């Protein structure tokens, strides 16, 4: 069984052609068209002209072309609904919201071929309405609360089960998406935590490497100083001067000691460089 539903949209140019069946449609069964009912107090052009007059008189300028002063509702019905039921609904809409209906069309001949043996009927009615203030011609301002109340009113008057709010359906969909996004976010947080741990480890390792490098650099500086001293002592002119001032055997012994220290440092520095190079290669 169909649920109660009413949905308004700006009236379309071909509204009256459709509603009065002024042309053939492939979704209409002509053998059921005698079940349709229509009522009208005015045409769409007549109401549009009246709205424009009221608006011009009230505002002092013509209504904008993008304005939608005439709107059309599609209302779900069942097999037993008649014009009397739709007229009752129309009066309630006018009393509560100021929406004035000037055409009602009940369609019981629309549908589609669900299977070779079954024709699925689309029972509904159209309410063509003046959506403006009856004095100023300005569009009515209805909010979300009004639209919800309109659904409740339709269900009550048409004696049908209230349809599920589209807001609730949309909320369920949003909640599902939020849960999925939370799952993704939790995984992202785990990844961030892992990266932070790795960053701390790398930072610690970098500190160690920097300390090792600093130590090597200090050793190299010390080695260079020793080498400079050795070069000075090795210079033939400086050695000659030293030999004239201090004991030659003692100077020769000093040179020998410095030379040995130089070779030992060269070996040690070479060893450190190779070890440091292997460690950096492994980490990269």
148-206 confidence digits (pLDDT tens) = 999 999 999 999 998 766 555 444 445 555 555 666 666 666 666 666 677 677 666 66
Of 109-113, 126-130, 145-149, 223-227, the range with the lowest mean pLDDT is: 223-227
Please say whether the beta carbons of 121 and 108 come within 8 A: yes
Q: Mean pLDDT across the stretch 21-38?
A: 95
Top-confidence residue, 248 or 233:
233
Architecture of domain 6-163: 2-Layer Sandwich (3.30)
Asked if the model's pLDDT at residue 95 lies above 90, the reply is yes
**Which of 48, 157, 45, 46 has the alpha carbon at shortest distance from 94?**
157
Q: What percent of the chain has pLDDT over 70?
A: 60
Of 71-85, 94-108, 230-244, the range with the lowest mean pLDDT is: 230-244
User: In sequence order, what E strands does 115-182 have?
Assistant: 119-121, 124-130
Cα separation, 108 vs 149, whole angstroms: 27
Q: Would you call 124 helix, strand, or coil by DSSP?
A: strand
Q: Residue 160: which residues within 8 A CB-CB, separation 6 or more?
A: 1, 2, 3, 4, 76, 78, 154
Q: What percent of the chain has pLDDT over 90?
A: 52
């Amino acid at each position: 069984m169909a649920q109660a539903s009413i949905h308004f949209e700006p009236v379309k140019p071909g509204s009256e052609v459709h509603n009065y069946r002024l042309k053939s449609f492939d979704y209409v069964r002509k053998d059921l068209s005698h079940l349709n009912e229509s009522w009208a107090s005015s045409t769409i052009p007549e109401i549009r002209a009246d709205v424009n007059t009221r608006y011009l008189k009230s505002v002092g300028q013509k209504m904008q072309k993008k304005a939608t002063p005439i709107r059309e509702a599609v209302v779900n019905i069942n097999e037993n609904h008649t014009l009397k039921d739709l007229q009752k609904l129309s009066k309630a809409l006018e009393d509560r919201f100021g929406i004035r209906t000037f055409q009602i069309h009940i369609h019981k001949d629309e549908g589609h071929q669900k299977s070779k043996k079954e024709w699925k009927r689309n029972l509904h009615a159209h309410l063509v309405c003046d959506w403006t203030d009856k004095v100023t011609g300005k569009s009515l301002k209805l909010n979300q609360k009004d639209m919800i109340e309109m659904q409740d009113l339709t269900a009550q008057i048409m004696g049908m089960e209230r349809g599920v709010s589209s807001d609730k359906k949309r909320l369920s969909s949003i909640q599902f998406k939020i849960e999925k996004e939370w799952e993704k976010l939790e995984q992202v947080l785990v990844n961030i935590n892992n990266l932070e741990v790795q960053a701390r480890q790398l930072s610690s390792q970098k500190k160690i490497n920097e300390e090792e490098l600093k130590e090597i650099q200090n050793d190299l500086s010390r080695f260079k100083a020793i080498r400079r001293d050795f070069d000075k002592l090795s210079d033939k002119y400086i050695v000659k001067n030293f030999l004239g001032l201090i004991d030659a055997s003692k100077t020769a012994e000093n040179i020998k000691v410095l030379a040995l220290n130089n070779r030992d440092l060269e070996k040690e520095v070479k060893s450190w460089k190779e070890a440091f190079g292997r460690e950096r290669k492994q980490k990269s």
